[in-house]
Amino acid sequence: HRIQALTGCDSIVTLNLTVKSDCDKPCPGVLINGVCWARSNVDKPGTFASTPEAFGMLYQWNRKKAWAHNTDTTGWDDTDAGGEYWNANNDPCPYGWRVPTQEDLNSIKNCYVREGYVLKMTDPTTEKSMIMPYTSQRIYYGTYYEKVSWLYWVNAAYDNDEAFVITNTPNLRATTRPKKWALPVRCVADWNVPECEDKEEEVEVTIDKNKLPYTWRDTVFQEGTVSGTYVFHRIQALTGCDSIVTLKLTVAQEAKPCPGVLINGVCWARSNVDAPGTFAHTPEADGMLYQWNRKKGWSPTGDISGWDANLPSGDNWNKTNDPCPAGWRVPNAEEINTLLDESKVNRLMTTQTGIFGGKFTDKGNGNAVFFPVVNHRKPEDGSVHPGDFGYYWSASPANTDEAWALYCYMETAFFKTELPKNGGYSLRCVADEDISDCKIVTEEAYDTICAHDLPYTWRDTLFYRDAKTGVYLFRRIQALTGCDSIVQLHLTVQDIPPHEFSAMVCQGENYNEYGFNLPKVMRDTIVRDTLQTRWGCDSIRILYLTVHPKHDTIVYDTVCQEEPYHGYGFSLTKAETSTEGTITRDSIYQSIHGCDSTVHLNLFVGKSYLFETPREV
C-alpha cells in the first residue's frame, strides 16, 4: 500500500509470493545426465586432487586409508574389508560427496570418448564435460602395478572377496576387482547431506587455581585466569557450520599470581626495561637508561644527541611517563626498601652468566632476582660513566633535584640513595595491582602463515591442521588487573595445494615439460619439486612420469639368389638379391605410445646353381 508522490492517491499492489520448500540444489561439480560428479579424483581423505588429470591417491574398498603411487606401503592390510556397501564412516570423499553407486554409472555410460589417457564425459544437453584419467593401481600385498588402466571403485560389494568397479573394457560397464586392491575414487554429490545447523553447547568447569595453566579442549588458560564466562566461536571442519561453546569457568581460591619474581611480598620484573613498554630479553641484559619522570630511553653505550640536562618536574613519576610495560610500574621507595630487609631477603654481589650484579633471594620462598651493574649517563651532558655501580630508579622524589634509588656496590653494599633527577639510570619495574581504573583492552592483530606450518601456536592458542583463513576473537582476563582483554586476530592461511602432472616419455629420451628437466629417462619415476610463493610458502609440484620402452629386434632369414624377398615388413627386389652374401636392412616403426621400435634384418642370399643334363630323344 503506497501513496503516489505526484497525486496523493492510494496505490495498492497485491503480490502473490510462493516460497518453495524444496528447491533444486546447485551442482558443485559437473552435472552429467542428472548426476553431479566431482571434477577430480580423491587425494588425501576429505580432499580432492588439485587438477582433473591428477591421479589422486589410491584406496582399498571400504577403507579410508590413502596409499600413494609407487612409494612405501608399510602397514598394508591384505585382508578383505567386510560389509555389503561402503560404510559412510570409511568414505574418503569430502563432506557433501560419496563413493558412486552402480545406478550412478548409468549417467556416463553412453556419453564418453577416449582422449589419450583420459575418458571425457559430456552431458548431451548442457555440453559440460569432465575427464577421468587412466591411473596405476596397487594389487596384492600392496604391489605397485605401474601399467595405467581405467578402473574406479563403486560403493557395492560383489561377494566377500570382491567389489564392483567401473571399467571401460570393452565398453563402460561394471565389473569386479579384489577388495584388497587399491584403486582411485571419483565421488558424486550426496544430496542427502543434512542442512547446516549451528551447534551450541554450554559447559561448566570448576578448577583449582593451583591447576593453572589449564588446558580445556584447544585453549590454554594461563596463570592469572579468573572465574567467568568464556564464549568460543569455531567453524566445524567437516560441515562448515558454526559451533558456539559457552564455558562457565570457576577458578577456586582465586589469587593474582606474580608474573615476575615474588621477593618479600613485592612482584619484581625479571629483567630491566629496554625500549619504552618492553623488557630486555634476559635478566643479565642492560636494557636502556632513563631520566627520572621521563619516558625517553637512552642506550647505555655510545654517543648520543638531544640530551635534556634540565631537571624533570613532578612530585612523583607520572603514569603517562612510565616506560614500564602494561601491568607494570616504576617501584616506589618503600618497595625498594623491601629488598634491603635483611630479616627476609639475602643479598649478594655476584656474577651471573658472566655479568656482574646484585642478587636478591627471598628467605621464605627461595625466589631470586638479579640486577646487573650497568653504565649510567651523567646529568650535565649525558656522557657515559662506566658501570662500577648499579643504580635503579624509584618513583619517589627525595627533594626538588633528586629522587630515591637503589644503589649496588662492592660485595654486600646495598643502599637507598639519592640521585640527580636529570641523570640516566636503569629501571626495574614492579607489578601494578591498581585496578581502580579498569578498562577493557582491545587489540587488532594480523598474522599470515603457510598451511604447512600448521599446527601453529599463536600466543596461548594452538591452531590445528584444519585452521582456515578468518577472523578469530579471543576474550581473556588480564592476569594483573582482572579486566577484559579482547584480541581480534585476522589470520591468513596461505594454502598452496600441490600441483600434480602426469606425463609419458620414451625410454632413453629427455623430458622437458612443466618446468621439469630430466635427461635420458630410463624407468618410471615420481619427481617432487618445491618452489616458494611470494608469501614464502612452499609450492610443491609432483610429476608422475611413465616411461615406455623402445624395442630393438634382430631377425635372421634366407632367400635364393635373384629371388624377391618379402618378410618382417621388408621387401627386396630380384636386383637386390642378385649377389650371394648377407644383406642387412633396418626399419623403424612407432609404437602406440609414439616410441621408436627398430627391426634389424640379416638376410642371407644363397647362390643359385644351373645343372645341365644332356639327353637324347
**Model pLDDT for residues 179-201, shown as the tens digit of each residue:** 999 999 999 999 887 665 667 78
Q: Which residue has the higher pLDDT, 515 or 394?
A: 394
Residue scoring higher pLDDT (213 or 306)? 306
pLDDT at 434: 52
Average pLDDT along the chain: 84
Nearest Cα residue to 188 out of 167, 168, 166: 166
pLDDT tens column, 547-600? 888 878 899 999 999 899 998 888 999 889 888 899 999 888 777 777 878 889
CA dist., res. 52 & res. 119, Å (int): 11
What are the phi and psi torsion angles at 444 (to 5°)? Answer: -105, 125
pLDDT score of 156 = 95
Q: Which residue has the higher pLDDT, 444 or 10?
A: 444
- What's the pLDDT score for residue 153? 96
Range among 202-216, 267-281, 383-397 rated most confident: 267-281
pLDDT value for 22: 44
Whether 536 has a pLDDT exceeding 70, the answer reads no
| Mean pLDDT along residues 213-223 | 85
CA 509 to chain centre: 37
323-355 confidence digits (pLDDT tens): 999 999 999 999 999 999 999 999 998 999 999
Block residue for cell numbers 619415476: 525
Q: Give the neighbor-by-neighbor strand order of the sheet with 228-235.
A: 199-208, 242-252, 228-235
Q: What is the arithmetic mean of pLDDT over 440-446?
A: 71
- Note the pLDDT tens digit of each residue in 226-238: 888 888 776 554 4
Band of residue 113 on the pLDDT scale cut at 50, 70, 90: very high
Distance between CA atoms of residues 5 and 11, nearest Å: 10
User: Which of residues 252 and 34 earns the better pLDDT score?
Assistant: 34
Confidence band of 145 (pLDDT split at 50, 70, 90): confident
Exposed, middle or buried, 415 (CB in 10 Å: 0-12/13-18/19+)?
exposed
Cβ–Cβ contacts within 10 Å for residue 218, how many? 13
* C-alpha dihedral, 285 to 287 to 289 to 294, nearest 10°: -150
Mean pLDDT of 456-468: 82
SS3 content of the chain, % helix, strand, coil (to 5): 5, 45, 50
Residue 479 has a pLDDT of 46
- 9-38 mean pLDDT: 71
Q: Is omega for the bond preceding 455 within 30 degrees of 0, making it cis?
A: yes
125 Cβ contact partners less than 8 Å away, ≥ 6 residues apart: none
- Higher pLDDT: 597 or 4? It is 597
Which pLDDT value is given to residue 45?
93
- Rounded Cα–Cα distance for residues 358 and 372 (Å): 6
440 pLDDT band, cuts 50/70/90, is low
pLDDT at 6 over 60: no
Judged against a pLDDT cut of 60, whether residue 72 lies above it is answered with yes
Which is it for the CA torsion 335, 340, 344, 350, positive or negative?
positive
Q: Are 424 and 377 in contact (CB under 8 A)?
A: yes
**The pLDDT value given to residue 20:** 45
pLDDT tens digits, one per residue of 271-284: 999 999 999 999 99
Residue 83: its pLDDT value, please? 92
Q: In b/e form, how buried is each residue of 434-471, taking b as 16+ CB within 10 angstroms?
A: eeeeeeeeeeeeeeebbbeeeebebeeeebeeebeeee
pLDDT at res. 87: 94
pLDDT-derived band at 496 (thresholds 50, 70, 90) equals low
Q: What is the Cα gyration radius of the chain? A: 41
pLDDT category of residue 308 using cuts at 50, 70 and 90:
very high
For residue 169, which of 146, 144, 152, 145 has the smallest C-alpha distance? Answer: 152
